[in-house]
Amino acid sequence: MNQNLSLSVGQATTSGIKPINQDFLDFQIPQDPVLSFKGACFVMADGISSSQVSQVASEASVQAFIEDYYCTPDAWSIESSVNKVTKSVNTWLYAQTQNSPFKYNKDKGYVCTFSALVITPQDAHIFNVGDTRIYHLAGGKLNQLSTDHRKVISSEQSYLSRAMGVQQTLEVDHTCIEIHQGDYFIQATDGVYEFISQADIMDAINRYSKLQSAADYLVKLALDKGSNDNLSIQIIRVNQLNQKAILKKQGDISNLQLPPALKPRVEFDGFEIVRQVYISSRSHVYLAIDLQTQKKVALKVPSTEQATDKLYLERFMLEDWIAKKVNHPNVVKGIKTDSQKQYLYIATEFVEGQNLDQWIRDNPKPRLNQVRQIVNQIADGLQAFHRNEMVHQDLRPHNIMIDDNNTVKIIDFGSTYIAGVTDVETQEVMRGTLRYSAPEYFLGQVGTQRSDIYSLGVIAYQMLSGKFPYSNQISQAHSRKAQDRYKYKSLLTEESEIPAWVDDALAKALAKDPWKRYSELSEFIYDLHHPNKNFLNKTRPPLIERDPVMFWQAVSAILFMALIAQYL
């Protein structure tokens, strides 16, 4: 098949005179139609020399960017896709530093420069943070397209004014230029461009017919001229353009239509509809067959009532990205297709089984080990979100599936918050279901990973007791003082066979104050399996906390007996 765009590339990287290469570079040139509407990606990162872990930052930035970029929805523009992906990567790097010994010394943390070149059949998009450069060679002239984010103090002293992983927020420069057949693009780190001239670059490209030879030559030349840093370069040539090709432009959700009414046996965008699975005012879910792979998939489409709600549709597309980005056996997986979508929908693997809500009804008195096995898997899936700096925000039995092999999978990411990507100003604070939502949501606060731990605690509590840990009136308490009136209902009763330390673990996970909860899912799961010595030293809670009804029944009986005794 003839491509609309043909590119050649040569690349070279070396540690130079240094023991470790803290540069990292990579590229991906997909096949059409992905190449036409997503473009080819060329990415480079340069770790800072003051850090012993910045090579990790460089490699993670490049690899995560390429993988996540091609998972972004078709409806997003290239600029929007790159901004969301780089912000997500930046937040992850920042979090690694915050959770490391370098929290207060970012010069030793997970920090790197970053540049990305995205070439489509029409134009080239240049994105950069830091001082890794991108040049454009056309008509015998070499122009620098990127801006160096470096503050020069003197000839011997300078520092990066902007880089990946330094701050929670990130500003990425973006430039877009029209391209032509025969154009060249050059990416290079300072270990190369500070030691060779622009004339050297042009001479190498003219001298060597193979771009790989030109890249190798320029790295060696920079070393011969005294480069004392890591060295990396990528040279890209535009071999062919099909400028007559009519391609759908990205960047406006209105370019993708809402699906028509879907019925069994109807073919739709490469799928055959089997039956409807779920319907609500916001979305419809169908079981379908992927006609290419013959596998069962779940198709989620927006309801017609949401057709004019642009904010909802934007979140819908974000859910599509999350489904493809989070890769874990306990999270339902998004389906990647090679064709360009014509409609707005989300395709995921279809889970044969039942949701946890039905499982709880079918198993009113489960064994403790059964509950642990399910909660363990939910926690594993939830941890995949947390590692990506995401908060699920709507964890409840209805959004958890158990397949025929007893594998648990988290589904529905419509409420998920992505640090650095989700717009806090437009984020609805209350996104989940009231009975499973952490108390801080009712105070108007934004959720954190501890909020997900609370939701998991509610699910574990419900599985063990069929009840909820607090009165449903707590959702009406909009101050910390008002919430303090509601007490945790202990699972320990006179007939209870649950160990007291398990109840203590649940009580900690379900603390109303998020700072009194577990900070990590692993800590909660460990305490559900092992007696925590801090819990074992506690005295048994009074009867009024363990069973308030029984307490007041006992008080009433005593008062009644005392009243009778008075008249005898």
Could you tell me which of 207, 210, 230 has the C-alpha nearest to residue 219?
Answer: 230
Q: Which helix (H) or strand (E) holds 545?
A: helix 543-546
Give the architecture (CATH level 2) of 5-241.
Answer: 4-Layer Sandwich (3.60)
Check residue 331 and report its DSSP letter: B
Do 5-241 and 253-349 come out as alike in CATH topology?
Answer: no
Structure tokens at 114: 């970053």
Q: According to DSSP H, which parts of 261-392 are helical?
A: 310-325, 356-362, 368-387
Higher-scoring residue by pLDDT: 57, 421: 57
Structure tokens, 106: 């970012």
pLDDT tier at 136, thresholds 50, 70, 90? very high
Is-contact 256 74, C-beta < 8 A? yes
Average pLDDT over every residue of 510-518:
95
Pairing mode, if any, of strands 184-188 and 133-138? antiparallel
pLDDT at 95 over 50: yes
State mean pLDDT over 291-318: 87
User: Stretch 367-372: mean pLDDT, rounded?
Assistant: 96
Lowest mean pLDDT among 30-39, 285-294, 322-331, 417-426: 417-426
| 295 pLDDT more than 80 | yes
Find out whether 201 and 221 touch, Cβ atoms under 8 Å. Answer: no
Average pLDDT, the chain: 89
Q: Quick one: which of 346, 463, 360 has its CA closest to 412? A: 346
Contacts of 56 (CB under 8 A, 6+ apart): 96, 110
Instruction: Name which of 65-79, 133-147, 331-345, 512-526 the model is least confident about.
Output: 331-345
Q: What are 69-83's pLDDT values in tens digits?
A: 999 988 888 999 999
Judged against a pLDDT cut of 80, whether residue 552 lies above it is answered with no
The pLDDT value given to residue 427? 55
Residue 465: predicted pLDDT: 93
pLDDT of res. 356:
97
Answer yes or no: are the C-beta atoms of 336 and 417 closer than 8 Å.
Answer: no
pTM listed for this prediction: 0.82
354-537 to CATH, choices 3.30.499.10, 3.30.465.10, 1.10.510.10, 3.90.550.10: 1.10.510.10
CB-CB contact of 230 with 21 (8 Å):
yes
- In single-letter form, the type of residue at position 135 comes to Y
CA-nearest of 526, 431, 451, 439 to 475 is: 439
CA 449: distance to chain centroid?
A: 13
CATH number for the segment(s) 253-349 = 3.30.200.20
Lowest mean per-residue pLDDT among 80-89, 288-297, 416-425: 416-425
Is the four-CA dihedral 70, 71, 76, 82 of positive or negative sign?
negative
Whether 1 has a pLDDT exceeding 50, the answer reads no
The domain ranges of the chain are 5-241, 253-349, 354-537
pLDDT surpasses 90 at 532? no
